[in-house]
Amino acid sequence: MRINLTGVKWLMSPNQQEKETIVILDYGSQFSMLIARRVREAGVYSELVPWDTSPAALSNLNIKGFILSGGPASVYGSDAPTLPSFVIDSGLPILGICYGMQLLAKHYGAEVASASAREYGPALIQQTGKTHPLFFNLPAAMEVWASHGDNVQQLPDGFTLLAESENAPIVAIANAHNHVGIQFHPEVVHTPAGTQLIENFLFRIAQCDGNWDSSSFINETVTAIRAQVGQGLVICGLSGGVDSAVAAGLVHEAVGEQLTCIFVDNGLLRHAEAQQVVDTFREHMGMKLIHVNARSEFLADLEGITDPETKRIRIGEKFIRIFEKETENLGKVDFLVQGTLYPDVIESAASGNSAAAKIKTHHNVGGLPKDMTLTLIEPLRNLFKDEARNVGRTLGISSEIIDRQPFPGPGLAIRIIGEVNESRLDILRRADWILQEELLRTGEINNLWQAFAVLTNTKTVGVQGDYRTYGEVVAIRCITAEDAMTADWAKLPYEVLATVSSRITNEVQEVNRVVYDITSKPPGTIEWE
């Protein structure tokens, strides 16, 4: 089915019609991004789009099938998201997950109603008869993860019951048109056989080939960038992190000397980071690099600001204004490259999906000024962090860059709760440096997705050198994750935590208390602001 994403800038490739794609309609599930990830891990390209995306917006895609995500709504609600008619009319395979299954059932005439007991957590399902391709090579009884309050009350017209559970007698269904529904979540790790089930849908039902990888992504994206840029000049806002480095590498591969990277020292970086970034990129990347010291400008814009959303917006706008100013000496620059990733877009709810909640504004998404004069190129906008890293490795970017821990564009400004100024930045830098030193010394850094210190907006009474003190509280945040959409707090050895705490309270005079954040994501986010 070829349905053009004309005007939708988060899809760049002109070769989409040659690339098999699974379209995932997002109904607001917290797991929607995981569905996209699992499909891509299987070697099939996927696009996660709002459920109400028009068919015209999908016309340049070689769609092999649709997946309907879960969601928090009830299909019988007056304002509930619906199943677009073009999805059914396409004649393509459909996998409905949780709310998606309920939509399928409702479309085919079955009743969906509130269950007598909400099912949340592990459940055991049992296949009911002859094995369906969806359950190929899977055991008759499977542990799955459920999260729903509604149930399908009877089989829809033309459907066969595939599996049942104690709490949901109708837990998996299918019809002769390859429309399949499941009342559980195969995309989460708590469904051990979930990956196999998704692959069964992709390869045994949707008949995908599974030939998408980082190399094909690079070829498609480079071609798209060349077509978009032509002979124009491009700048890249280089932060020193993985995302901007890989984005710069892709664009440099496409347009070479037409690209100039601009590294802005915003005064919100970690200890000695500015010079490290400049040295690393000039040595390893071989690109034109302009280094701008804008510390005073950023701090002036943040003076008196305590609201985190305002911080992000001001930082995002200041970056753009500096980029625009720097282009005056380069000639007519038309394009700005950013290392925006898929999670940034989702958390900022920038897709327009009415079913998705905005978690926080990312400075490079929702923080951009509406009157900016540069056209954005965001080649990583549809990738997860690990996918971006794989692209970087394929491009030959140094491991020194690729393996760096994620660091937010707004920098330490969102790791300081409350107002940002030089003195508070100095406190946080010193505390964070101690944490990094100890994690590196002990080797624990290798087990972490991210580790950092937070300067809280709290002071406590302490005793230091036999004197009463009223000092700052520093929080330590160390997490493990696969893709940053979900994360768990790291179970660091007590002796490591004790050493970090002792060093910070002894070496950073202003701090008299250190706490360790043991909150997972969700309910928390990775960063505090």
Task: Choose, from 20, 47, 98, 199, the residue flagged as catalytic.
Answer: 98
Task: Choose, from 132, 148, 179, 185, the residue flagged as catalytic.
Answer: 185
Cα separation of the two ends of the chain = 42
User: What is the Cα–Cα distance from 313 to 410, expressed in whole angstroms?
Assistant: 9
- Nearest 5°: CA angle at 483, between 479 and 486? 60
User: What is the Cα–Cα distance from 258 to 195, expressed in whole angstroms?
Assistant: 42
Q: Of all residues in the chain, what percent carry a pLDDT higher than 90? A: 58
In the DSSP assignment, the letter for residue 416 is: B
Task: Choose, from 187, 220, 253, 387, the residue flagged as catalytic.
Answer: 187
What pLDDT is recorded for position 6? 30
Contact in structure between 385 and 483 (CB atoms under 8 Å): yes
3-state SS of the chain: helix, strand, coil percent to 5?
Answer: 35, 25, 40
Query: What is the pLDDT confidence band of residue 120, given thresholds at 50, 70 and 90?
Result: low
User: What is the Cα–Cα distance from 148 to 70, expressed in whole angstroms?
Assistant: 9
What pLDDT is recorded for position 13? 42
Q: CATH for 415-516?
A: 3.30.300.10
Q: Is cis: bond before 133, omega within 30 of 0?
A: no
- Nearest Cα to Cα of residue 520 among 484, 488, 486: 488
Q: What is the mean pLDDT of residues 292-298?
A: 94
Residue 363 has pLDDT above 50, yes or no: no
Return the domain boundaries, the chain: 16-205, 214-402, 415-516
The CATH fold assigned to 214-402 is Rossmann fold (3.40.50)
Q: Which element (helix H / strand E) includes 496?
A: helix 494-507
Q: Which positions ≥6 away from 465 have C-beta within 8 Å?
A: none
pLDDT in tens, 401-423: 888 888 888 899 999 999 999 99
What pLDDT is recorded for position 406? 82
- Look up 271 and say whether it is catalytic: no
Q: What is the mean pLDDT of residues 303-317?
A: 92
- Look up 326 and say whether it is catalytic: no
- Look up 111 and say whether it is catalytic: no
At 369, the amino acid letter reads P
Residue 240 has pLDDT above 50, yes or no: yes
Task: Please give the CATH architecture assigned to the domain spanning 16-205.
Answer: 3-Layer(aba) Sandwich (3.40)
Equal CATH topology for 214-402 and 415-516: no
